[in-house]
Chains A and B, each alone.
Chain A
Amino acid sequence: MANHTVAETLPVPFLEKTGILSWILSTDHKRIGIMYLVSISTFFLIAGAFALTFRFELLTPEKNIMDPHTYNVLFTLHGAIMVFLFIVPGLAASFGNFLIPLMIGARDVAFPRLNLGSYWIYLLGAIIILIALLKPADTGWTFYTPYSIQTETDVIMITLGIFVLGFSSILTGLNFIVTIHKLRAPGMTWHRLPLFIWASYATAILQVLATPVVAITLLLLIAERTLGIGFFDPAKGGDPILFQGFFWFYSHPAVYIMIIPAMGVISEIIPVFARKPIFGYKAIAYSSLAIALISFFVWAHHMFTSGISEVAATIFSFLTFLVAIPTAIKVFNWTATLYKGSIWLHSAMLYALSFIWLFTIGGLTGVFLGALAADVHLHDTYFIVAHMHYVMVGGTVMGFFGALHFWYPKWFGKMFNENIAKIAWFLVFVGFNLTFLPQFILGTQGMPRRYATYPPEFQTLNELSTIGSWILGIGIFIVVVNLIKGLFNGEKAPQNPYNSLSLEWSVPSPPPHENFEEIPHVTDWTYGYGKKQNTEK
């Protein structure tokens, strides 16, 4: 084939090579992205199945199918796997890998082999966590001391796994920062970058600078259990709340590691399907950086009822309100972009619109919780559970599904069934709200989280929530089946099905190995919809 000049000019799609080695040894960012996508999706489904199981236990006030210990283990694993194996690597590692080089006009990331190494490290961490399932921890995903020092379950293995995953996260973030700094195509200035790139950049900064602190904290927890050091043990003069502080010094910024990439996705989807330039480009771009900055200042708002000092609580309450500002800026700008747009309700757009609505609920309830007096009442109730699921599922998972439906044609070169996708979206949306909206009410009524049983007066709302979880489960199942089916018998995708102006749509679907035949020269920003609609690149 290589002998024919015609064949040589035809780019080879990156998916062409087959065989397991062509995957696990590939340094192509698009393939690494797929490996992440498959891995994180698998863990998303596993952790989701855990949730369905213990949500079934909560159908009735009394014990149904599991004892309290099993319940504790299941919610711990649901949290730990969702957070560390799905949502933290999540969009950043899968779509970040696929999109960053394509969007900035590069052939690959700055360190392709390191990129593959990050994936292997991720796998290693995942394997360690799977081994930890032999004697699973029952501490909750936050591993609070002193219980995590005392429990008989295997805390060491799972924290070791998370420690290893931290390295993967750091190296991926490092790779992306360098890539965005050094490999942008000629003319791709900072203010012409797609907003997903700004979001990925902010995320990468958090990955690089927050993760080491949790790494050392978990290392200390392991040392506490193995060597008997006493930093977190009051009996030895230590301070258990110190652990919480250090843990959240990472884990609060990590919340933004989870959500900022989804914000980037939404900023890409909305202008395309509203056929309008994005409103407030710079405000959205810089608010990503602002979130990355401020998110380091707010960690102790997770600890208002842990016995921290009033001075600290007051400072952190104030700082917490600050982080709502850049977030609100984004929501206003997305809404302004929609105004007077000619809106195409593609399934990706439906997810994007759901994101705005659900994330706003999640974000605003977060502001309630930032207020000290309200938090004392609501802390450790189902209100918290509902709040964080509105942010993480209503936000990140909607963003994730939006991204999947939006870039699917580009990534796999196939189309999925749009009608089924819309039905699935409807089920996901309804199921999600039915699951978690009642939990806000349960929380305000005082139902505490993390118990396998509850008083009978909470039953009706819990029934609604459990039924909602079934609808949500069915919806997600249909999403998965629909997308997998599209891989096998979907129509061939055109190069640019949505007339997007972004660089990744200027290459064939799926993109060739090394992306661009010639590195493009960029002359305008990505969002020139409307007046420049006909000047396709």
Chain B
Amino acid sequence: MEVKAHAEQHHIGIKVYFLVWFALTVLTGVTVWVSYIDFGLLNIVIALTVASVKAALVALFFMHLRHEDKVTWIFALYPLGLLALLIGLTISDVFYRVTP
């Protein structure tokens, strides 16, 4: 299994890396451009979606997450769940307090 995983990385072509890099740079341009247009609340949604797509590209291709086993996936994604939990439950406190 280990040997297989090692060998697989050789299959990521140089071309793929350049494509990913190109996509990342274009997406950076997109976020900057979008920030000058007022979509109201949608702005932050767009900004975070684009950032997440970029982050996913980096993780899947540059960091080879595509070829990692289940355990690595779990440990890569679990912190995101915890972060959502931390933010979500803190919000359930901070924005629902009854202010006298």
Contact = CB atoms under 8 A, between A and B. Distances in A.
A and B from one complex = yes
Interface stretch (B17-25, B41-49, B77-85): B77-85
Nearest to A303: B93
B90 A315 contact: no
Interface in A281-328: 296-297, 299-300, 307-312, 315-316
Is chain B's interface secondary structure helix, strand, loop, or mixed overall?
A: helix
Interface in B61-100: 71, 78-79, 82, 85-86, 89-90, 92-98
Contacts of A532: none
Contacts of B96: 309-312
B98 A309 contact: yes
A311 B97 CA distance: 8
A245 B79 contact: no
A206 to B, nearest CB: 11
B6 to A, nearest CB: 14
Contacts of A34: none
Interface residues of A, number: 21
B71 A315 contact: no
A209 interface: yes
B92 A311 contact: yes
B71 A242 contact: no
A315 B92 CA distance: 9
A309 B78 CA distance: 27
Nearest to B94: A239
Contacts of A296: 82, 85
A50 B98 CA distance: 41
Interface string A50-62: 0000000000000
A448 B85 CA distance: 33
Contacts of A312: 89, 92-93, 96
Contacts of B90: 242, 245
B86 A308 contact: no
Most A CB contacts (10 A, CB to CB) among B89, B93, B96, B97 go to B93
7 contacts: A297-B89, A307-B97, A309-B97, A309-B98, A312-B89, A312-B96, A315-B92
Interface of A: 181, 209, 213, 239, 241-242, 245-246, 249, 296-297, 299-300, 307-312, 315-316
